Copies of this chain bind each other. A is one copy, B any other.
Amino acid sequence: MSLLLPLFAIMLIPFAAAGLGLIHAGLGRSRSAAHALLATLCVLAVTAIVFILVGFAWTGYNGGRSYSAITAGVAWNWIGAGPYMIGGAGFDDASAPVAIRLCFHIFAVGLAGVIAIGAGADRWRLGAICISTAIFAGILYPLFAHWVWGGGWLAQLGVTFGLGSGMIDAGGSAVVQSTGGLTALAIACLLGPRRGKYGADGMATAIPGHNIVLVLFGCILALVGWTGLNSAGVMIFYAASSGRIVLVVIDTLLAASAAALAALAVTRFRFGKPDATLTANGWVAGLVASSAGCAFLAPSAAIFIGLIAGGVVPYAVELFELKLFVDDPGGSISVHAGAGLWGTLAAGLFAAVAPGMRGPQILAQLVGVSTLLGFVLPVAYGANWLLHKIGSQRVDRDGDYQGMDIRELGAGAYPEFVVHSDEFVPR
């Protein structure tokens, strides 16, 4: 297969980032809209540069140099050992298979980095976003990506412990979405809620997104980006046949479709009217959940996975917002961590496996899920907690009153439009 085929798929991934950027901006306040999208642009920039400087060396690739720790006779391949500054990657045809991996990663890590912006909307400082994202792209993503996509220990679970094919994650439900979504959880907890979100009595105020057109349009962009993301991942890491790559695109659309309709139905029956933003969140959750198994799922399984992802999202959003008092304007935690973990597990439940390998494959996926919860989340929290101690990641009180655009950028996103956007912040 020509290398250019995965390259074209990669070239569509920015639409996923653009879609999430619009969704986050639209679900935030009008006075923080420019900030949200500038943050998206900055995250794409920071991740690309940091990943090429150091991240790719540690991510490595299957067959590349890496470090292993030998414990109890098993080699735990835990980090890549490539040269920094991609010193070793040439761009002649011989080294092109490495270059295409690098190319995929710099777009995928950008997408993963964008996720947390939704959870920190309306209060996460731009400088902190850049530094936090640099750590994410330089250390956290490379480590986990190496484990799953770089020949690391999670990918080797099949060889080392007989767990099916090892952990599988065709398009990144775990590597891209869950790492980003768990970082979002860490950020939302550290920043605390927006001023005015919760009253003194603990009652939550519903602060509506300022532009639902952006949110829903972003969903369609995300679909295109995801067809690129999933098919590129499958082509690059799983060397799938053409027929399977057609299946990837079909399954991606089906999962998103089922999830959107599930979220629509759930909100319709619970609230009497369907909720547009939760339906949008459902759509994206379907995309997220489709990624891990997309190349190995029957269409009916993709529909089922989507139904669960989309049906759960409204409850998950409510859980975080009303019970756990975690203010996540973009729904990033529920959509990316929640559906990402579900998709990772579901790939074990439904992917085509060799006879007798269902149990081991599920176990491999559960090891992946446990690693995300037991390692990625604490590290993401710890690193961002440290940053937060060094200098607050949250905007100051003036920012709550002025909005992020005026406070941090000195100008609003919509200077000619008359808006009323200050009614939620208590005086």
Contact = CB atoms under 8 A, between A and B. Distances in A.
Interface residues of A, number: 112
Contacts of A22: 217
Contact of A261 (B46, B257, B261, B421): B46
A14 B213 contact: no
Interface in A209-227: 209-214, 216-217, 219-221, 223-224, 227
Interface string A233-258: 00000000111111101100110111
B8 A220 contact: no
Contact of A260 (B45, B94, B106, B213): B45
A296 to B, nearest CB: 10
B409 A416 contact: no
A258 B219 CA distance: 28
Interface stretch (A25-33, A182-190, A320-328): A25-33
B220 A44 contact: yes
A213 B33 contact: yes
A253 B9 CA distance: 15
A90 interface: yes
A335 interface: no
**Secondary structure type dominating chain A contacts:** helix
Given A41-B260, A92-B243, A96-B243, A106 B413 contact: no
Contact of A420 (B214, B276, B416): B416
A7 to B, nearest CB: 6
Interface in A257-282: 257-258, 260-261, 264, 271-277, 279-280
A206 to B, nearest CB: 9
Interface stretch (A97-105, A138-146, A168-176, A336-344): A97-105
A45 B256 contact: yes
B415 A417 contact: no
A10 interface: yes
Contact of A37 (B7, B216, B299): B216
A221 B18 contact: yes
A409 B273 contact: yes
A154 to B, nearest CB: 26
A390 interface: no
A128 interface: no
A38 interface: yes
A45 B273 contact: no
B241 A93 contact: yes
A410 interface: yes
Contacts of A214: 213
A228 interface: yes
A34 interface: yes
A350 to B, nearest CB: 14
18 contacts: A7-B242, A7-B246, A14-B223, A21-B216, A21-B217, A30-B416, A34-B276, A41-B219, A42-B260, A42-B261, A42-B279, A44-B253, A52-B303, A85-B300, A93-B242, A94-B243, A209-B415, A212-B413
Given A11-B231, A25-B213, 6 more contacts: A1-B4, A38-B216, A42-B279, A100-B246, A103-B249, A414-B417
Interface of A: 1-5, 7-12, 14-15, 17-18, 21-22, 25, 29-30, 33-35, 37-38, 40-42, 44-46, 48-49, 52, 85-86, 90-96, 99-100, 102-103, 106-107, 126, 208-214, 216-217, 219-221, 223-224, 227-228, 231, 241-247, 249-250, 253-254, 256-258, 260-261, 264, 271-277, 279-280, 283, 299-300, 303, 405, 408-421
